[in-house]
């Protein structure tokens, strides 16, 4: 117990300070900001930061809970049966499994971390990482509604997203061996000890692991949400849009916008639809496909979980694959 408190002392201190601030501002009437005039940009930053955080936290909680189940109840034998030994079949299977699994780009990171830790090849983990937030029933429905019940855009998003994810995972399978995870002693200890537990104690171990996973991941989510809020507050969207003329520049601008805004994949279609009359369809698809695969806040989270070189290469491969395939297919879209 004392060891766990020592390991999480920074997080516990942070929550204690936040609780004190909340009490002074919201509960104790003598402490208010009514007499202080804050800049509107700061208030906007605060609102955007909280909205990103509130939007993402439920998905992170679901993700760490699933990660806890995988950690305690899923064995290496289960994974071997699920993922084919053939590299290319494994890529295809992981992309399909991800497509059937509704998860936000924030919640998927701890799940993939756990799957890779349990023995899933890194390229299969990447396939799951890319298709999980992009191709699932919730995203399909939100895209269909956002684009005025246009099924074509929803199908293009799903179909091209799946194709690009397969290409990226295949490239990663050729570039990297090994799991590419940063090591965690606490995960190793829990993994070894949980195998000896009876069922109820394993359930307890699952919840303990989920809490540990939440503390591991949530601080990077907060940092990523803060950076995304800063960009949304102080970088003018109209200025960014003004840079995009022609299919090449407009696609690059929309992908950059998707990365910087860090919108949740369940809601980003409504923002993408607002650019429909400004940019060509391929550029809009760049926004819809690139954002769920890679954005500012999940970059921060991936850097906390995977090795720096792997994340850097993965970012380059994702960017060039989405950009190149959309430009190639642009005449037929």
Which residues, at least 6 apart from 63, have a Cβ–Cβ distance to it below 8 Å?
103, 104, 106, 107, 108, 109, 110, 111, 217
Which pLDDT does position 163 carry in this prediction?
93
Among residues 113, 99, 106, the alpha carbon closest in space to that of 68 is found at 113
Which pLDDT does position 202 carry in this prediction?
77
Which pLDDT does position 9 carry in this prediction?
62
pLDDT below 50 — which residues of the chain? 193
Which pLDDT does position 242 carry in this prediction?
67
SS3 state of residue 148: coil
Q: How far is residue 134 from each of residues 85, 145, 185, 250, 268, measured CA to CA in Å?
A: 25, 16, 32, 21, 11
**How far is residue 91's CA from residue 98's CA, in Å, rounded to a whole number?**
11
């Amino acid at each position: 117990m004392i060891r766990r408190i020592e390991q999480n002392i920074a997080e516990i201190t942070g929550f204690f300070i936040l609780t004190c601030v909340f009490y002074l501002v919201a509960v104790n009437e003598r402490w208010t900001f009514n007499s202080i005039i804050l800049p509107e940009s700061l208030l906007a930053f605060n609102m955007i930061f909280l909205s990103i955080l509130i939007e993402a936290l439920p998905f992170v909680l679901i993700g760490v809970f699933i990660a806890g189940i995988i950690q305690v109840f899923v064995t290496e034998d289960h994974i071997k049966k699920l993922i084919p030994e053939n590299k290319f079949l494994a890529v295809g299977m992981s992309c399909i499994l991800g497509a059937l699994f509704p998860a936000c780009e924030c919640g998927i990171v701890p799940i993939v971390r756990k799957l890779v830790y349990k023995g899933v090849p890194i390229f299969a983990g990447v396939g799951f990482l890319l298709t999980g937030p992009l191709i699932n029933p919730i995203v399909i429905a939100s895209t269909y509604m956002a684009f005025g019940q246009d099924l074509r855009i929803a199908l293009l998003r799903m179909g091209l997203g799946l194709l690009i994810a397969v290409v990226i995972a295949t490239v990663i399978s050729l570039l990297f061996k090994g799991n590419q995870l940063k090591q965690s002693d606490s995960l190793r200890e829990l993994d070894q000890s949980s195998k000896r537990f009876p069922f109820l104690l394993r359930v307890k171990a699952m919840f303990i692991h989920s809490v540990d996973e939440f503390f591991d991941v949530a601080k990077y989510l907060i940092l990523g949400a803060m950076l995304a809020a800063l960009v949304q507050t102080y970088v003018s969207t109209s200025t960014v849009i003004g840079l995009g003329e022609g299919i090449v520049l407009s696609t690059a601008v929309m992908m950059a916008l998707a990365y910087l805004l860090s919108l949740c994949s369940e809601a980003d279609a409504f923002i993408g639809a607002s650019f429909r009359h400004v940019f060509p369809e391929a550029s809009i698809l760049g926004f819809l496909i690139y954002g769920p695969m890679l954005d500012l806040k999940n970059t921060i989270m991936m850097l906390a979980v995977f090795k720096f070189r792997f994340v850097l290469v993965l970012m380059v491969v994702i960017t060039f694959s989405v950009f190149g395939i959309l430009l190639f297919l642009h005449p037929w879209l």
